[in-house]
Structure 1
Amino acid sequence: MELKKFSKLLFDLNILCVYRGVLNDNLMRGYLDLIRGLAEEESIEKIFTKYGIFMNGLLAKAELSKYPVVGDAWQNHVLDLILWDENTFSRKAEYLPPSKMGATLIKMVEEDLRTLQDVCSITLDRLHMYFKKNFSWLNKAVFHDPVEFKPMLDVGKTGFPGEKPGEIKEGLLASRDWGQNIPQLSSYYHDMGCGIFGRYLAFRWSVGEGFLPVENPDPITLDNLVGYGDQKKAVLNNTEQFVKGFPANNVLLYGDRGTGKSSTVKALIHHFGRGGRLRLIEVSQDGLIDLPRVMAALSGHAQRFIVFIDDLSFEEYETQYKHLKALLEGGVETRPDNVVVYATSNRRHLVKETFQDRAVGGPVSGEDIHPQDSLEEKISLADRFGVVVTYTTPDQETYLSIVEELAREEGIKMDPQELRSRALRWEMWHNGRSGRTASQFIQDLRGRMNLGENVDGWGGGT
């Protein structure tokens, strides 16, 4: 590699048009600084300071990654930047094939991809070979060949959507000319999306900060939720309609605590999100005032979004529900077609009512002159959810069936009568019968058994 190759690469990177956003990446900036130092033949101290900064960031990215590395660590990072970049081409590809894009745009994408391919051609091994050839007197062991990193695989579920990122990266790396891979890249953006919504499955909305990705969403799946088959079917059917672009309703899941309302919603992203377009946005009750901002940010994307509001209920003095009510129905700005609202609550009517609200007779001094109007206002929020799914506390036999199924899933082998007896003692000492209580019982039992504890005499009281 000659110095003029570094100079040409710097020039080409500086004139990136469509994928210019990759230059904002910290690792890419470190790479540019290093290449610039080599091209301009800076002092050895400056060059290796820049090298140290670049490798420090790359080591952290590669060794702490939970995803497989395609190519070497630097190539893998550049490929990730291409998949994650939100630009004119990637946004348009979410909706349309390249044949329906302008010729100038396609030509610029081709040139940008070829430049990024040149970046990937300077592998870490080649970079180390250059250092050893030109700075052999340093005799630094760090320049050994080959350069190898080992990511942290199998450390738990992650928020990355499926296997398609690895497939498209491998296809690009095997290609002689990335400029000819536009159809494959366009298809990837169409299926998976781009930017932050193409990278993660679940998000939290933070007032003042916006969308915060959830690196490790709850791994719960619909198969893990034992019982409540009719409730799961109702939610699943509505969600499938929504994901396929058909009319769908907002959903209210209400009922007793610990019955799986929230888990049902969180499981949907693993059922529809991996390899698909469904994304989950959790908005707290305090964040309801930001709902217009949330909707505006989501409306321009091809993904389908569930805005998830967990444990929704309001006291009499709280007025945030009016923001949600306007969004669901009745506001000047309509809810985008790619957004539905799923909420969970222990209250059917969401806004607290009192016996005075339903008192018969004339108004009491100092109270509402039109009490019926106030009552209608309070119960109207729940009416704006087209699908209402009820979760009730399981009876004893259903609770025990849940325990038995969870025990099978965990590989716990125990006399059925003994297991049932312990499960009943556990629920009496703890939170009553529910799917959550059953899960807590099994987790405690599994933990004690894994520690080698003899649980034969355990009564479950502590």
Structure 2
Amino acid sequence: MSSLNPQLIAQVHFLQRQAASLLVYQSVLTEAMGQAFLNLLAVLERESNPLDCLRAYGCLFHQQAIHQNCWPDYLIAQIMRANNPFSQQAQQTDFQDLPSSLIAAAQSDLQCLQSLYNCSGEQLSQWIQQLIPSSEPAVIWQQEPDLVDKIEELPLRTQLKKLENWADAVEGLAAHYRQFGVGLFAASQAFRWQNRELISISHPDPVHLGQLVGYESQRQVLLKNTEFLLAGYPAQNVLLYGSRGSGKSSLIKALLHQYGDRGLRLIEVAKSDLKDLPVVIELLRGTPHKFIIFVDDLSFEEDDDTFKALKVVLEGNLTARPQNVVVYATSNRRHLVREYFTDRPQPRDIDEVQAWDTVSEKLSFSDRFGLTLTFEPANQQTYLKMVHHLAALAGIRLNREELEFRALQWATRHNGRSGRSARQFVDFLSAELALFPVHGSLS
């Protein structure tokens, strides 16, 4: 095994000092890719045995393959969504109002990170080759052209690439945080509240508004209310209630694909976790994004107290509700709290004195949503309209009479007339015609 010349050893030491000198941007190196990069530097600095060097380089390459991103571009992405004192304050405060010490720390860190950015895969491969002359040249991760083009579209990334000194980009970086946010919300658009923390949803439901037909008036109201939210005006909490399979949930999920690039984020909260809603709300306060808290299939039993947490969010308490958050809930019930005839006042001594007040509170809970959108069961005309639309999107070519005959058969034999049934029918028919184009038949 050979060794690095003193000049290259000095370069490795310099990079290690730069990484150790970070004041507020330490988090960009804490994930697996950053740790693999630092470990490779440590192995090179020790001039370890050949196997250790190859393993360390292999770990870094493995992380690049997982992220489909080369080390320099990955580092840029980490900087752009970094969650640290500078980025947190920059997203809520004008640049000129930020503490001067915090700006100076960010500038210092950016200079350090620029040195790490300039350590390319080609350079690392050459160092490995110098340490182990008899080995094959280490494979270098090459960024795919389409991914490079996508990254180049980001103005801040282009600015950093052209600058000789990244410290000069500190104001532009602050503006980026103010526009796009930081941390989890800058990296993902869909989330689930689970075990008292937000979990990113890597593959949100791909449904788009263009796939949904019927209930046009309800859709327009929901879109208009969402536009209010995105524009910074007071938006209403919305209850979508009606028949099963009518597309209530799909309509909400489709909003993410319509408005995600404008800062909309969707957070799914299960009914069992509604007690945590005040905690969720406080996590969202003060961020530049706009949030829809999505509660699906909402209803409560008579002794269920979790609705009280939702009531606080809908009506507010002493703490003001942030203007960047609304609740969109779906339900098959107009009155969300289940009521029994036995709940109604009876002439017995043990009855509650103001029993009708309790009944009224249960019945009026749904009224606390500012907007209530009703989804009536689809009639035959609406159902067939949905089928024709989805069949056209799927490229199904059947004559109108046959398509409608099969669609009505499906509705009769399966789940009735609804948007869900139309989707299930078209999915089934697409597969059937692809695999059994001549003899296929519905069962």
The two structures share one fold, judged by TM-score above 0.5? yes
Three-state SS of the structure 1 residue aligned to 2:364 is helix
Secondary structure at the aligned position of 1:11 is classed as: helix
Matched, 1:320 2:316: no
Question: For the residues of structure 1 that align with 2:402 and 2:206, how far apart are their CA atoms?
Answer: 30
Amino acid at match of 2:338: K
Cα distance per residue 1:244-285 (max 9 Å; x no partner): 1101111111111111111111111111112x2211111001
**Alpha-carbon offset, residue 454 of structure 1:** 2.3
1:242-281 matches, within 5 Å, as: 242-274=229-261, 276-281=262-267
Q: Secondary structure of the residue that 2:299 maps to in structure 1?
A: coil
How much has 1:84 moved relative to structure 2?
2.1
Write the mapping of 1:56-455 to structure 2, written as runs, cut at 5 A. 56-62=62-68, 69=69, 73-137=70-134, 139-140=135-136, 143-144=138-139, 146-148=140-142, 166-208=154-196, 210-274=197-261, 276-358=262-344, 362-364=346-348, 368-454=352-438
**8 Å contact kept, 2:47–2:131:** no
Q: Distance in 1 between matches of 2:110 and 2:313?
A: 41
- 2-side partners of 1:330 and 1:170: how far apart? 44
Q: CA deviation at 1:60?
A: 2.4
TM-score, length-scaled by structure 1: 0.88
Query: Aligned with 1:205: secondary structure?
Result: strand
Contact 2:50 2:131 (8 Å CA) reproduced? no
Alpha carbons of structure 1 residues 36 and 163: separation in structure 2 relative to 1, 3 Å: closer
1:64-123 CA-partner distances (Å, limit 9, x unpaired)? xxxxx4xxx111221121122112222233234433333332232222122212112111
TM-score by length of 2: 0.91
Alpha-carbon separation, structure 2, partners of 1:217 and 1:245: 25
Percent identity at matched positions?
A: 36
Matched to 1:220, the amino acid is V
Amino acid at match of 1:307: I
What is the letter of the counterpart of residue 128 of structure 1? S
Q: 1:365 to 1:424 in 2, by over 3 A?
A: farther
CA positional deviation for 1:149: 5.8
Distance 1:268 1:330 in 2: 25
Whole-Å separation in 1 of the counterparts to 2:433 and 2:90:
52
Question: What displacement does 1:330 show?
Answer: 5.0
Cα RMSD of the aligned pairs, angstroms, is: 2.4
User: AA paired with 2:195?
Assistant: V
The number of aligned residues is 435
- One-letter identity of the residue aligned with 1:429: R
Aligned equivalent of 2:4: none
Shift of 1:452: 4.1
Residues in 1 aligned to 2:116 and 2:38: alpha-carbon distance in whole angstroms: 10
In the superposition, relative to structure 1, how do residues 196 and 320 fare at CA in structure 2: closer, same or farther (>3 Å)?
same
Name the CA distance, whole Å, in 2 between partners of 1:216 and 1:152.
Answer: 20
In the TM superposition, residue 37 of structure 1 has moved relative to its aligned partner by 2.4
User: Is the contact made by 1:349 and 1:379 (CA closer than 8 Å) also made in structure 2?
Assistant: yes
1:206–1:212 contact (8 Å) kept in structure 2: yes
Structure 1 205/405 Cα, relative in aligned 2: closer, same or farther at 3 Å? same
Distance of aligned partners of 1:203 and 1:346 in 2 relative to their CA distance in 1, 3 Å threshold = same
How far is 1:297 from its partner?
1.3
SS at 1:136's partner residue?
coil
The offset of 1:170, in angstroms, is 4.2
User: CA offset at residue 370 of structure 1?
Assistant: 3.7
- Structure 1 residue aligned with 2:11, among 5, 10, 27? 5
Native 8 Å contact 1:311 1:344 kept in 2: yes
Look up the equivalent residue of 2:403 and give its one-letter code.
L
Counterpart residue type for residue 333 of structure 1? T
Secondary structure of the residue aligned to 1:279 is strand
Rounded to whole Å, the distance in 2 between the matches of 1:17 and 1:120 is: 17
Amino acid at match of 1:23: L
Task: From the superposition, tell whether residues 435 and 164 of structure 1 become closer, same or farther in structure 2 (CA, over 3 Å).
Answer: farther
Task: Tell me if the contact between 1:363 and 1:369 (Cα under 8 Å) persists in the aligned partners.
Answer: no
- One-letter code of the match for 2:330? T
Match in the other structure for 1:31: 37
Aligned pair in 2 of structure 1 residues 383, 147: CA closer, same or farther (>3 Å)? closer
